[in-house]
Structure 1
Amino acid sequence: MRRARFWLGAVVAGALALGVGCDDDDDNDGNFDSVPGMPGQPDDPDSGTPPDLIPNIPDAGLIQTLSDAQIARVLQVANEGEVMLGQYAAPLATDQAVIDFNNQMVTEHTAVKQRLDALLAAEGITPEDSPLSLQLQAEVQQLMDVLQGPNAPAAGAALDLALLSAQLNAHARTAFIGDSLLTPQATNTALQQELASERQAVQTHINEASDLQSAIVLPPVEP
């Protein structure tokens, strides 16, 4: 198994800082570096999302070498986090497209988690926690705490943008970690195929959420 040097806090903070957006080229290769910046970051004062909505992730200074069992758990946590965010956001959103997107995240990531669990059972892989999976669980909870905190925007377009930013941040994190750490280290063939399938789905969700954000920030001009 290939040993990968990985600073957990730095990678996740990088995903949050870089953000994600929609690449209008439908032929992009699905890699994280194909996704440009998004609204809702601290350097985008017109996005409607307050800078302190984006959590600060400490640099854990970890060097990660993951087994297939640990990679499997990271995938489980990533999908569970998306379901949690969708369940939280859908009742709070006001834009119907944002409501629908978050309901879609609940449905699709629940289905992916079920597919993953069936694959792991068939392959005899028992998921195992690692510092990475535990950190990802903490990050989702931190996003939830920030969205419920005193600095979260009130209902309306600002809140819709914030809820989409949370989804984009979580998907960006999953994409970045998958590209830089999980895919290079997975050894089980079925797990490698699952990683590739989930990565494509994550990219689709990134593009969909970014399109929704753009429509809120820059609505169509009436003729």
Structure 2
Amino acid sequence: MRTAKFWVGTVLAGALALGYGCGSNAENPTPQEATQQGPDAGTDGGVVLTLTDAQIARVLQVANEGEVMLGQYAAPIATNPDVRAFNEQMVTEHTAVKQRLDALLATEGIVPEDTALSLQLQAEIQQLMQVLQGPNAPTGAALDLALISAQLNAHARTAFVGDSLLTPQVANTALAQELTTERQAVQMHIDKATDLQSGLVMPPATP
């Protein structure tokens, strides 16, 4: 159990550090740093990250692609059947969402555009994958815990970005509805992943 707890802490803390505490550098600025350096910096001392519908669309694409990537990696190696099933579900559902989103964008004439934010989200997933595939990656029950924690982190990050940046700024009506639909699905995935994680950290006591 000590090993399992260590790994859930490592994955979640490391992922949050990737999202919120990356060191500043000119080649890979965080979204906040890029905004401060660009024309969208706030005039009241705060930072405003302004996104167009095309940029919002790319963030949604990246979020779905990342969750599919995690699922494709995790499902074949998970030893817990519930963790395996959850990751298989993520591959199926987020692939379908990505296809639906792409069709909507084509209909609406929206061409996705990368920003510092979408690139940062891609980098976070890639670094999570490096942790999961690295030489010190866990095995057995600890691996299952790391896999579900990675999915939980990815979904929580998507929810945070959606609530704080995407929903307040989306202009296209159809894209706004798609964003709402995806946010509801993400919340269901968060709830399910949280339950699975809790069960792995503190399994039910046997009589």
Bin the TM-score by the shorter chain.
Answer: 0.7 to 0.9
Q: Which has the larger radius of gyration?
A: 2
Q: Secondary structure of the equivalent of 1:66?
A: coil
The alignment's TM-score, normalised by the length of structure 2, stands at: 0.82
Q: Work out the CA distance in 1 between the residues paired with 2:174 and 2:68.
A: 23
Q: Work out the CA distance in 1 between the residues paired with 2:76 and 2:4.
A: 25
Q: Which residue of 2 aligns with 1:192?
A: 176
Q: Work out the CA distance in 2 between the residues paired with 1:45 and 1:149.
A: 16
More helix by share: 2
Checking the alignment, whether the CA contact within 8 Å between 2:8 and 2:149 is kept in structure 1 is no
Residue among 107, 110, 116 paired with 2:101: 116
Q: Work out the CA distance in 2 between the residues paired with 1:92 and 1:101.
A: 13
Checking the alignment, whether the CA contact within 8 Å between 1:93 and 1:159 is kept in structure 2 is yes
Residue among 133, 151, 154 paired with 1:148: 133
Give the count of matched residue pairs: 179
RMSD: 1.7
- Percent identity reads 71
Shift of 1:213: 1.1
| 1:218 to 2:190 alignment | no
Checking the alignment, whether the CA contact within 8 Å between 2:145 and 2:200 is kept in structure 1 is yes
| 1:93 to 2:65 alignment | no
Residue among 118, 129, 135 paired with 1:133: 118
Q: Work out the CA distance in 1 between the residues paired with 2:112 and 2:8.
A: 37
Q: Which residue of 2 aligns with 1:22?
A: none
Structure 1 counterpart of 2:63, which letter? A
| 1:179 to 2:151 alignment | no
Q: Work out the CA distance in 1 between the residues paired with 2:185 and 2:100.
A: 13
Shift of 1:207: 0.5
Q: Which residue of 1 aligns with 2:7?
A: 49
Checking the alignment, whether the CA contact within 8 Å between 1:48 and 1:161 is kept in structure 2 is no
| 1:204 to 2:180 alignment | no
| 1:163 to 2:121 alignment | no
Shift of 1:149: 1.2
Shift of 1:51: 4.2
Q: Work out the CA distance in 2 between the residues paired with 1:211 and 1:50.
A: 14
Shift of 1:47: 2.2
Q: Deviations over 1:145-177 (max 9, x none)?
A: 0111123212x1100000011001100110000
Give structure 1 regions of 4+ aligned residues with deviation exceeding 4 angstroms: none
Q: Structure 2: state its 5+ residue gaps.
A: 24-29, 36-48
Structure 1 counterpart of 2:5, which letter? S
The more displaced of 139-148 and 213-222 is: 213-222
Check 1:97–1:48 CA distance in 2 against 1; reply closer, same or farther (3 A cut). Answer: farther
Q: Structure 1: state its 5+ residue gaps.
A: 1-43
